[in-house]
Structure 1
């Protein structure tokens, strides 16, 4: 018994997430337990480590796992996740894993692989069949709740309740039972099922679109197969694969580290919620598989450093896959647009309930007593249901989902991939874009154009044109440093016979440019030259240090003559170390004590030479080029006594690089602007969007690129000194709480560097964010994050970037935008990915605005007939005793059929020509439904349609011997000269006329509603590909067909009390419809002619 408890305790220990420093302190009030077995071993609890609060998996999980996001349970305030029996087996599996406790050599032996050559293709194919794709199984779906959601989300519940009530009004309340009520109940029930079917179809369509978007973002990883490095889709990984890892990569599978740089760190917050990075090592650090630092878990990110790992688990066998398989999906939060729609629906429902209560009160207090035969209980129920159905825009939920899905699909065709529909709705209100430079504004295709050694500065083309024997030896040493202090590698598969400039290189853009320069100088012998040196230490480049270090021992001594000047080479021992450094001149210049002259000798670095190098750096920077400094240092054996691959050795190497360096030379790298950037910047600025460049480059470099791109156009550029530290007390009130648009910015241009940002106070930050043109230089990831948050105080902010250092700000921005060529961590943090070019941002902003415009159009179309014109026949019947001139059945037909189809078609409307000439939407003021839209829908179009339809119906009755005066306050009491049967027949005809009049006038309302500001002639529905909507006319034909069916088929006439409409009443509404179009044309003309006038302010 004791042995069983001991074994159980060991299992619990080996599957528990814990914090290294506080893992033993479990008595605190705020628990940090994350994954633990209970003492009974019957359950497995999953909790978030709460050092930074609960993590929203929908935000942090990789895009391909968004559909299997698991809900992290907090220790308080949430119910425990009910797990299945699989929890025990998962816990046992984790406890049995030994990959972290055995040596890398034994791991390779067990998996029958070799770290140097990897698996063979034949082995990989067999294992892919055995283990399956490296992809998670789809999450379990509660089909019952899903199906119920299709029926009862939106307005399905109201339709079902209305149908039941009308059934009751037919029998037993109907005395006698009215066949029209039975038909109405059946139609309501049919609509209930139709809207559920459409919701199901829409969900399937949306899922297909989003799935296709995710399929366009396959994860790639660098894998060694048959001794060659190849780029492989992550889903094709198998156990035993050798995977190379670098900063920015997301681990595609669980792997055992076999070679890691000493600075390598991983972010595991996606699994643990712990924000602190975990240092990676090849050594066993913990008996707990989930806590040891020599295991990399799928879905976590390498934020610094590099290394290699052996894949030990894929797919559902990974820790991520096991947890995802055991837990539930989170409930998505309500988006801004959903909240706006909810407010509108609540507003409409409030009016609806008020009207129903008013009808009930009037009936109970007056009609039931004074006119008992006018409205009985059955009729009252039907009237109340009619009011409810009339007021609720049944087509709105369909139109919203369709609009977002259609827009996401359209953006996908333009190579803009939105990870969620929420992104689509936010894009339309973006007022500031903070853009990274490298790889976003520029092509990310860097080339080394100039180099400087000593006091000689040469263009690379001139250097290469010289015969090899005539080149200065010093430039050969510069090329050697470029080859050694470089993390990039040539792709061996594309090397033979391919020019250096066109060879494929594994590595970042900067290292690629430097490596190609070295290859050109060495005539393609860099690989052999590198093999002459053994690398013993590496510190990868990062945005904080802004330099990289590589340390070597010599293997073949002939390489010394290519690397060092003769005096140093002769004295270099086999155990000596060569420290090579490459990075930003401002970070490394102060560490240099000597420099390499053009003749190849080493001289002390005097102040005049420092000034020379600074001047060269400024020249490069002012030309928009990135400047790098390459340096070296020889360290005699015995000076560094620590063992490699230890923390102390890492500290010793960094200490050696702090001083005594020899400055070998400077190189200039150009990254050309994307060809479309100038036009993109101009278009976005014309759309009222400010663009702020946020980069790590020097201020001179950043400003030069910003001017070339059009981001900065002012001649006079302010600096940090121009930002007042104290506010002007007489400048006005504090409106920091109000969301402003970019047009409020009244200041000119500003260039400011990262170190200067640290000294700004709140007032200076406020002044900074008011500049029209801003360039941020030498920024760190933390400063980028601060910049985004400062802008968010008064703007809706989009952040574009593609690097590791952009990830925090991408996630913090209202819309994070990454390039498709960006790092894994950047693409995961982003909400939207541009696969083609930066010009796609224009398309994204355009369609973001179109979504909001089209939804306003949908509501503007639904309000007049769908609510206003249907409401008044009921009210006039109840209050004024008039016959209900539009039957309840025909109200349902308009709401659920004729109007619903056309409203959905409005979601396909193309952008208006002026959509990018307006300022961004103010999310605090410009609501989806405002008083202007209500005034337009009810006060203008709705009133016009209502009065026209009433006039046509009562005029028809007047022409047929039933004057209006005999109906006013009649409450069903007809004069003796009017035959009841004749009256009923003519009333059915008048009701059908009201119905047809609304249907036809809505055609013209549909045409008028297509544009908010442009004339119908500027935005024609036909013969212009940029504006046409070919679905409009089929929707009109559909509504016409529905009207003909319900009005002209004799069997239907008998059931629902309709009648054939005289032919003139099909054409008279055309005149009223033309009046609607003309009226709206005049309104739009006034808005365009006098944009600040009264009509413009009242325009929707």
Structure 2
């Protein structure tokens, strides 16, 4: 049995399926007359009796959508311990605790090591949880799309009830300004018009009728209204036929819920890096255990040694550093009107290669504006944009009558701002709002005009006539004011009035009007014709009121592009980011806006409609996306949008999608980075997105991409910083092993002190580095590019190798100068304690200079500025102060087995510590010279 409004069978057949889903299943009500609708839905003009409504609520359930899934607090906290680095450290801590209990006698140092490793895991988890929990706290938004109350007829009585109590068969009373509470069939319509933008993406007001209609797509049924849309004009009554998840809005909600959330490139890269690093750490630790096993040391002692090797390789501070660095990016973007809901979305923006953007409100101002008035064979440009009456009509006197008639033939109203940050808005059709504003710009007082010519009759706009007519009483009789599609209007005109002179409409005049309309349309303007007729009485027949008209002229209007968007699109082009417009609007309108903002520059862009997409298979779609550099997708549905996003992702693109309506939610969720509108967008779009633009502007996307790229650059900087000193920790241990020295040059507890005490703060300061000047002049990186690329690994080995050579030389020089055979050294030997202290201090000092070196890839630190990142200098100073405390304070000496260093020791270490910075400056100078060398010149 077909379901109402969709002409499709209920899933799993029969009435039970319809009842469970909140949708009844009689014959399609769109095809029935009003009386037949009441019968089919088991109700009457008086509405449902109270008892029947209660039974319906039990049968169909509440008229609300399922709540959005939220990750519980315990789940967020537990997820912090599933990171591979965390797992490795947890296992290491557990085995170390076990080793402590198995030792005879028990070594308190082993217990300290176990506790220190566990403390690292807990600290990382606490930082990560705090950042994730802050990002996850968003309101339960989907429920807000359903209005809280609505007016319903129950047993002939008009009641205001919670919308959640609506059931199929309820008769709903609708008026201008109401939100539609469920999917309903209109049974009475008095100039009723709705805005279906949340479902279709088109912001035009669409008239509703109570007349039967033939079968077709649900959203094209002009005798139905749908949950989540708004009544913008008129009034009427409608009978509910679907509630909750069974509505069209609910269908889109289910589509969005089913779309998987894509992992960002950084998530994939960090996971890959973690596997490699953890695998290398375990392998090298196991190798060191095997190498020293023949020496006869106990298995527990050897294990603790191998564990120190492993800890030296694992970047314990990386998870916390990564989380806080991303959080810094979030705060920076928030200051630029971009609210990030998921931390990893920050970096995903930086790797974006394709932006699929909608038109209305993102590229444009979502404020229809008249830009041209044509009359008497001459154009009259109009200045100013938006709904504020700032601007003027050039030579406005000849078009005052045209604008008076257009203003009278409007149902919209301009609502003044209610707060200092608000602007005027339109209650009703935005096209009519634009006509009211242009009349004000011409110096007209429409309030006075309406008082002088009160309305007595109206013939509302419908899609067949493409006209709207109002009849007004004037001082000398009655007058019909007509506006509509130029072609339809011109066919009904017999004469014209230009420059105050009335004359017959000749063939040449008609050709001039058609040419003027085509010229306006070619500019992407929406064109309306304006006419009038004198009448004998207040109640003419529609055909009489709309025939033998006097043509006054044409009006051209558009939703103007945001002024900042053109520069933002150009910045995306320079950055190698492809911008594709995806809109539900008409192709001509879409192309005109795309040209104005620079998305389209060629004379022959590829414009594809939803109907053409339906005819394409996957292979044809892939070919279209690969070959068409300038592409516009118009008249598309939510399924089309998500299909295009999926196709781009198959090509390896990192896709950002913008949207504001509920119809955009599936694509927003499926994209690598979903960008919703904060000011004009729907709650369901904001719920599905990873990022919300607080100002709705595409320019904020370009700014966010710039900041996202900076985040990735900074992540690489602190990776070089963190991993380079890991080499400085590992090489001395390996050198001591192969040299036959019985003790480690640096203990696992000292390594943890360096990783967390001396490294995390500088790494965080590196994460706060501002974007480099040329960040938007580079091409996006590939989705498959490794975080630890060959260039990054090479720099890690270069800087880490210098540190390792320096601290290894210091260690063996100090051990050798003691004049004690290797086998006689114990952990209590003063020379050994001084040597390990010098190794730890040497790594800390060299890392201070290393942090300065990695601030840029090619620029000299002198050009960047030694003092331009004071947080980095403060963090490095804290690390050196902590190292001094470990060297000189007895309680810390006991924990780390260190000894006080002499001033000469610090001088030697300071000199060696500058070597990584000096060596990297030389490397950068060589790279700059090579880049500046002319191609084909001497090598």
Aligned equivalent of 1:894: 754
Does the alignment pair 1:164 with 2:91? no
Distance 2:130 2:861 in 1: 33
Aligned equivalent of 1:612: 512
CA contact (8 A) 1:100 1:294 kept: no
Aligned equivalent of 1:1068: 908
Structure 1 residue 412 displacement after superposition: 0.9
Does the alignment pair 1:871 with 2:730? yes
Secondary structure at 1:452 match in 2: strand
Does the alignment pair 1:452 with 2:374? yes
CA contact (8 A) 2:232 2:428 kept: no
Aligned equivalent of 2:870: 1030
Q: 1:669 aligns with which of 543, 557, 571?
A: 557
Aligned equivalent of 2:414: 490
Q: 1:797 to 1:663 in 2, by over 3 A?
A: farther
Stretches of structure 2 that go unaligned for 5 or more consecutive residues are: 26-40, 54-63, 152-161, 167-171, 201-205, 214-220, 383-391, 935-939
CA contact (8 A) 2:192 2:233 kept: yes
TM-score normalised by L of structure 1: 0.63
Secondary structure at 1:563 match in 2: strand
Q: 1:948 aligns with which of 806, 811, 814?
A: 806
Does the alignment pair 1:1050 with 2:890? yes
Q: 2:288 aligns with which of 359, 364, 385?
A: 359
CA contact (8 A) 2:660 2:677 kept: yes
Distance 1:848 1:194 in 2: 26
Distance 1:139 1:712 in 2: 40
After superposition, the C-alpha distances for 1:437-485 in whole angstroms (9 at most, x for unaligned) are: 554444444442432346465457568753xxxx68xx7466435543x
Secondary structure at 1:176 match in 2: coil
Q: 1:718 to 1:149 in 2, by over 3 A?
A: closer
Aligned equivalent of 1:67: none
Aligned equivalent of 2:273: 344
After superposition, the C-alpha distances for 1:577-608 in whole angstroms (9 at most, x for unaligned) are: xxx6635x5xx4699464652268796784x4
Aligned pairs (5 A) from 1:678-757 = 678-691=566-579, 709=597, 717-719=602-604, 750=605
Secondary structure at 2:879 match in 1: helix
Stretches of structure 1 that go unaligned for 5 or more consecutive residues are: 1-16, 38-45, 50-98, 112-133, 226-235, 271-277, 286-291, 495-501, 565-579, 642-652, 720-749, 968-973, 1023-1027, 1095-1100
Q: 1:845 aligns with which of 693, 705, 711?
A: 705
Does the alignment pair 1:597 with 2:496? yes
CA contact (8 A) 2:402 2:531 kept: no
Q: 1:243 to 1:905 in 2, by over 3 A?
A: farther
After superposition, the C-alpha distances for 1:710-739 in whole angstroms (9 at most, x for unaligned) are: 5567xxx443xxxxxxxxxxxxxxxxxxxx
Structure 1 residue 425 displacement after superposition: 2.4
CA contact (8 A) 1:488 1:511 kept: yes
Does the alignment pair 1:854 with 2:714? yes
CA contact (8 A) 1:480 1:562 kept: no
Structure 1 residue 620 displacement after superposition: 3.5
Structure 1 residue 487 displacement after superposition: 5.5
Q: 1:145 to 1:513 in 2, by over 3 A?
A: closer
Distance 1:855 1:533 in 2: 69
Moved more, 904-913 or 1013-1022: 1013-1022
Structure 1 residue 951 displacement after superposition: 0.4
Secondary structure at 1:839 match in 2: helix
CA contact (8 A) 1:491 1:506 kept: yes
Distance 1:659 1:770 in 2: 50
Distance 2:635 2:855 in 1: 46
After superposition, the C-alpha distances for 1:385-408 in whole angstroms (9 at most, x for unaligned) are: 223322222222222222222212
CA contact (8 A) 1:627 1:669 kept: yes
CA contact (8 A) 1:179 1:1055 kept: no
CA contact (8 A) 1:1087 1:1093 kept: no
Distance 2:18 2:925 in 1: 63
Aligned pairs (5 A) from 1:101-112 = none
Does the alignment pair 1:178 with 2:111? no
Q: 1:528 to 1:846 in 2, by over 3 A?
A: same
Distance 2:315 2:551 in 1: 73
Aligned equivalent of 1:562: 479
Structure 1 residue 351 displacement after superposition: 0.9
Structure 1 residue 341 displacement after superposition: 0.6
Does the alignment pair 1:524 with 2:369? no
Secondary structure at 2:372 match in 1: strand
Aligned pairs (5 A) from 1:71-470 = 144-151=74-81, 153=83, 155-172=85-102, 174-207=103-136, 300-301=228-229, 334-363=263-292, 367-368=293-294, 371-372=295-296, 375-433=297-355, 435=357, 439-453=361-375, 455=377, 457-458=379-380, 465-466=396-397
Distance 1:198 1:480 in 2: 65
Q: 1:263 to 1:619 in 2, by over 3 A?
A: closer
After superposition, the C-alpha distances for 1:369-425 in whole angstroms (9 at most, x for unaligned) are: xx21xx211112212322332222222222222222221221111112234334322
Does the alignment pair 1:911 with 2:799? no
CA contact (8 A) 2:380 2:396 kept: no
Structure 1 residue 658 displacement after superposition: 14
Distance 1:589 1:825 in 2: 39
Aligned equivalent of 1:834: 693
Q: Kindly report the root-mean-square deviation, in angstroms, between the aligned alpha carbons of the 2 structures.
A: 6.0
Distance 1:283 1:693 in 2: 36
Distance 2:632 2:571 in 1: 22
Aligned equivalent of 2:169: none
CA contact (8 A) 1:266 1:303 kept: no
Secondary structure at 2:557 match in 1: strand
Distance 2:610 2:74 in 1: 58
Structure 1 residue 614 displacement after superposition: 3.7
Secondary structure at 2:864 match in 1: coil
Distance 1:756 1:20 in 2: 19
Secondary structure at 2:479 match in 1: helix
Distance 1:954 1:537 in 2: 94
Aligned equivalent of 2:405: 480
TM-score normalised by L of structure 2: 0.73
Secondary structure at 2:899 match in 1: coil
Structure 1 residue 504 displacement after superposition: 4.7
Structure 1 residue 865 displacement after superposition: 1.7
Structure 1 residue 362 displacement after superposition: 3.6
Secondary structure at 1:666 match in 2: strand
Structure 1 residue 661 displacement after superposition: 9.8
Distance 2:332 2:817 in 1: 53
CA contact (8 A) 1:533 1:555 kept: yes
Does the alignment pair 1:1011 with 2:856? yes
Distance 2:559 2:641 in 1: 21
Structure 1 residue 992 displacement after superposition: 1.4
CA contact (8 A) 1:267 1:303 kept: no
Distance 1:301 1:623 in 2: 30
Number of aligned residue pairs: give it.
847
Distance 1:303 1:399 in 2: 50
Q: 1:203 to 1:385 in 2, by over 3 A?
A: same
Q: 1:690 to 1:22 in 2, by over 3 A?
A: closer
After superposition, the C-alpha distances for 1:871-930 in whole angstroms (9 at most, x for unaligned) are: 334434544422321122212222333223332333222211221221222223x32222
Structure 1 residue 330 displacement after superposition: 11
CA contact (8 A) 1:183 1:1056 kept: no
Secondary structure at 1:562 match in 2: strand
Structure 1 residue 846 displacement after superposition: 0.8
Structure 1 residue 801 displacement after superposition: 6.2
Secondary structure at 1:424 match in 2: helix
